[in-house]
Amino acid sequence: MSQPYTLLNENSESPIFLIADHASREIPEKYNNLGIEDPSILRRHIAWDIGIEDVTKRMAEKLGATAIFSTFSRLLIDANRYPTDPSSCPAISDGVEVPGNKDLPQEERDHRVETYFKPYHKKLVEILEAKKASRAIPIVISMHSFTPIMDDFDRPWHIGILWDQDGRIALPMLEILNQNPTLVVGDNEPYSAREPLGYTMNEHGTKKDIPHVVVEIRQDLIDTHHGAEKWANLMTDLVIQVEKRLNTD
């Protein structure tokens, strides 16, 4: 891992900026999978957002938009949690023990913040500043995926739109998506953007008054290339419609 992120279309003139905080399940070799003995566990949701890297890359290509992808697993350090949050380096995730995070020394926690978390978010700031310098207002879309089942509950939603105080992107997205009778659309479901507060959108969106939204797509819909392409097309069309509305308001 040479740097904690990869980029597509860094110098794009499009105002659209796609962010995939949980694109990777990679854990540097020196951490020995954080003590998790069964490597199949690291292919599960606890380590990354299944399918979202594929969808986001396809969207970036179709839109000609800038996209950033984390290159480290959220088990190492979560790019969308405040470093002071206990879930930032979880000792237990979805019932799975993570031995390498148990009783984590502050020195090691600080090392992960300085090596992975801060450089990733520093690059986010650089991209946003460049876009603001060349255009009026960036359009920030944070891409995530969620599990079909949680605590024995079959989640009915195909897609969720998460937002807190800023509805400039979320509200038109919800309106457009709800016109599609084949979709079950969540408004701050299956998670709420209000509790807990995500680091990325709060720091780079809310605090800077930049239009932003979190998109959650159900994983079983995007865990194949065919599914990822289908949803990338749907999302690309959605983003184009929303951008047009923002430009005419």
pLDDT in tens, the chain (249 residues): 679 999 999 999 999 999 999 999 999 999 999 999 999 999 999 999 999 999 999 999 999 999 999 999 999 999 999 999 989 999 999 899 999 999 999 999 999 999 999 999 999 999 999 999 987 689 999 999 999 998 889 999 999 999 999 999 999 999 999 999 999 999 999 989 887 779 999 999 999 999 999 999 999 999 999 999 999 999 999 999 999 999 876
Distance, CA of 13 to chain centre: 22
DSSP conformational letter for 128: H
The pTM assigned to this predicted structure is 0.97
Structure tokens at 143: 């891409």
Which pLDDT belongs to residue 249? Answer: 67
User: Which residue type does 28 have?
Assistant: P
Q: How many domains does the chain have?
A: 1
Which pLDDT belongs to residue 96? Answer: 95
Q: How far apart are CA 194 and CA 87, in angstroms?
A: 16
Phi first, then psi: what are they for 162, rounded to 5°? Answer: -110, 130
Per the omega criterion (within 30 degrees of 0), is the bond before 196 cis?
Answer: yes
Which pLDDT belongs to residue 2? Answer: 76
Angle between helices 225-248 and 170-177 (to 10 degrees): 120
Q: How far apart are CA 246 and CA 168, in angstroms?
A: 8
Q: Return the bridge partners of 159, or none.
A: 185, 217
Domain holding 125, by residue range, is: 5-248
What b-and-e string marks burial along 144-178, b requiring 16 or more CB atoms within 10 Å of the CB?
Answer: bbbbbeeeeeebebbbbbbbbebebbbbbbbeebe
CA distances from 107 to 65, 71, 93, 115, 192 (A): 37, 22, 22, 12, 32
Which pLDDT belongs to residue 135? Answer: 72
Q: What is the CATH number of the domain that holds 240?
A: 3.40.630.40
